Structure 1
Amino acid sequence: MCICFIYTVFVMGIIKISDEVHDEVRKSCQVMSRSINAQAEFWIKMGRLAELNPNLTFSELIVKELENANADSVLKVVK
């Protein structure tokens, strides 16, 4: 009998940010009920999307992401 374990490895990198940005992320994560890492990841993702789609507003980017995630029930409220 052979027992195999499959491990998923998540490679995480460390990025250096200024103390000021770290403080802003920390404050925002409490308001938005996210972990500090989740808040930073959200800001990075939205910043990237904003750079790739300079003609879209923040709200339009959120709607686009909800559509991509097939979040129909949330989209009814947002639209």
Structure 2
Amino acid sequence: MGIVNIDDDLHDQVRKASTVSFRSINAQAAYWIKVGMLCETNPTLSFTEIIERELSSAGVSAQSLALGEA
């Protein structure tokens, strides 16, 4: 494992995002890096499609909510 130097403003954004998503700062940065890599290597897929594929490959079966359902 190594150290990645990032700009202070980006670090602040990672810190803020990590509190919203209940991840550590390192886990948030790793998540953004992985999603960024997946987006770059799969440019024809949307973010939602990428996340759905990742969830599916991890064995998570999330059901879609239909509009108007509570």
| Same-fold status (TM-score > 0.5) | yes
Residues 1-79 of structure 1: matches in 2 within 5 Å?
12-72=1-61, 75-77=62-64
Structure showing greater radius of gyration is 1
TM-score in terms of structure 1 length: 0.77
- Per-residue deviation at 1:70? 1.3
Q: Which runs of 5+ in 2 are unaligned?
A: 66-70
The TM-score normalised by the length of structure 2 is 0.86
Q: Distance in 2 between matches of 1:77 and 1:14?
A: 38
Q: Cα RMSD between the aligned structures?
A: 1.6
Structure 1 unaligned spans of 5+: 1-11
